């Protein structure tokens, strides 16, 4: 009975996202399938299918569903592509990318969030490579990536992430101050030529690390 209730709520949420401009059918199918309530703390489950960001502990959030869907649509991951996510958080965004058939690599700096996301990936039988470290330096060993998605807002685009992006690949990253960012959608045309499109405005938790904000 509980499951049915969530299915209805999930469908209603996806209808809202479609109304806001989400049109990638593969993404829509995955949004209908992945259970967001599994990625939020028990106390938040009743709000899991509202189009809002929710606290997940350590002062961090699971992003608003529209933001997850919008960034994924901009990234446009294809089955088999290697995608790097910086900011695993709850693991929901990584699960969406994996559901779309991408080979997902994800990095989280908080040990507790990393551990909790790993448990969820295991329980859902998702083959996602995860590590606990500073994602602003990327994951060189598995580079180049066909796409990189950063789910925390930084002051500048990390040079390492640009280097680790494959030619033809896309990097989606919020850049700005700590309160407001524009989403930069960066296409790597060659090793030295990048095309950037900016989409205003978003608010993310800060990207903290060597090529991000300094920790207080
Ligand atoms: N993608 C997440 C989800 O689906 O729940 C959203 C997580 S939250 C908006 C952003 C995450 O980025 C936080 O968990 C935060 O700890 C993490 N973060 C911030 N700076 C980071 C860094 N340099 N490396 C890795 N993770 C970082």
pLDDT tens sequence across 57-101: 999 999 999 999 999 999 999 999 999 999 999 999 999 999 999
The reported pLDDT for the residue numbered 4 is 59
For the whole prediction, is pTM greater than 0.85? yes
Ligand 1 binding pocket includes 53 (Cβ within 6 Å): no
Q: Which atom of ligand 1 is nearest to the CA of 209?
A: 23
Mean pLDDT of all residues in the chain? Answer: 97
Indicate the fold that domain 3-202 takes in CATH.
Rossmann fold (3.40.50)
CB of 107 closer than 8 Å to CB of 167:
no
Task: List, by residue number, the catalytic residues.
Answer: 63
**Domain range summary for the chain, segments of one domain joined by +:** 3-202
The pLDDT tens digits of the residues spanning 130-148 come to 999 999 999 999 999 999 9
Ligand 1 binding pocket includes 108 (Cβ within 6 Å): yes
Best residue among 151, 153, 203 to mutate for probing ligand 1's pocket (most ligand atoms within 8 Å of CB) is 151
Angstrom distances, CA of residue 152 to CA of 90, 108, 189, 198: 13, 11, 24, 16
Token pair 């002051």: residue:
155
Q: Which atom of ligand 1 is nearest to the CA of 208?
A: 20
99: its two tokens: 């559901």
DSSP letter at 111? H
27: its two tokens: 């993404």
Token pair 């390492």: residue:
160
Name the band, by pLDDT with cuts 50, 70 and 90, for residue 197. very high
> Coil, helix or strand for 194?
strand
Does residue 5 have a pLDDT over 70?
no
Q: Residue 10: how many CB atoms within 10 A of its CB?
A: 20
- DSSP bridge partners of 111: none
């Amino acid at each position: 009975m509980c499951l049915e209730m969530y299915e209805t709520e999930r469908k209603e949420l996806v209808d809202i996202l479609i109304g806001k401009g989400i049109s990638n059918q593969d993404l829509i199918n995955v949004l209908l399938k992945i259970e967001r309530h599994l990625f939020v703390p028990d106390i938040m489950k009743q709000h899991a299918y509202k189009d809002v960001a929710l606290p997940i502990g350590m002062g961090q959030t699971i992003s608003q569903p529209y933001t997850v869907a919008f960034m994924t649509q901009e990234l446009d991951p294809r089955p088999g592509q290697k995608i790097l996510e910086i900011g695993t958080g709850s693991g929901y965004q990584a699960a969406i990318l994996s559901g779309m058939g991408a080979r997902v690599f994800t990095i989280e700096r908080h040990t507790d969030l990393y551990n909790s996301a790993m448990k969820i990936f295991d329980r859902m039988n998702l083959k996602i490579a995860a590590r606990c470290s500073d994602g602003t330096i990327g994951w060189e060993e598995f580079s180049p990536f066909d796409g990189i998605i950063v789910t925390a807002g930084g002051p500048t685009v990390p040079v390492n992430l640009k280097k680790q992006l494959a030619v033809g690949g896309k990097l989606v990253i919020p850049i700005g101050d700590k309160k407001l960012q524009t989403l930069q959608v960066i296409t790597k045309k060659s090793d030295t030529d990048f095309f950037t499109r900016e989409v205003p405005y978003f608010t993310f938790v800060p990207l903290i690390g060597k090529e991000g904000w300094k920790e207080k």
